[in-house]
Amino acid sequence: MNFSITHSVFSAVLSLMVLFSTFSLTIEKHFCGGVLIDVAVFTQIEKCADDVVSVIDTAKTVKKTCCKDEVDVIEGLDQLTTNTFEDLEDIQQQVLFAYSYSYINLFETLPSSVYQLDDYSPPLLIKDIQVLDETYLI
């Protein structure tokens, strides 16, 4: 029973590790004048109202922005490789087998002993001990 619980917990942890290692994430940041205005992970960033400032020169209108956007992309694994026990070298197989065999045999199982208390009768109470010792549960 204990082995099956450990096995299921270990399997769940490994499957979550595989899931999160293949997970890609994009973080968008919006800066206005060097100050961080908005950060978005799963949605679009909100742009500020002063995103475009017009500067008038002699005969031209130049649009200049004081804001900038940064996009950080965290890439996950594209392909997963699976290895089997046969893919290991002979010495690695022997070391792994010896280690697992010695680790499993470290623990001895205790005999399951069931005590039958059918013939046991508790002692008779002559006086109430809690009242004598003046200990009351509140």
Given a contact cutoff of 8 angstroms between Cβ atoms, the answer to whether 50 and 37 are in contact is: no
Q: What per-residue confidence (pLDDT) applies to 95?
A: 93
C-alpha dist (Å) from residue 136 to 124, 129, 133? 21, 11, 9
pLDDT of residue 52: 46
Q: What is the pLDDT along the chain (138 residues), one digit of tens a residue?
A: 677 888 999 999 999 988 888 888 889 998 888 888 889 987 888 877 654 444 444 555 555 668 888 888 888 877 777 888 888 899 999 999 999 998 887 877 777 777 778 888 888 888 888 888 888 877
Give me the phi and psi of 39, to 5 degrees please: -130, 130
Please state whether the predicted TM-score (pTM) of the whole model is above 0.75: no
Rounded CA gap, 106 and 7, in Å?
18
> For residue 53, what pLDDT is reported?
45
CA 84 to chain centre: 26
Position 54 scores a pLDDT of 47
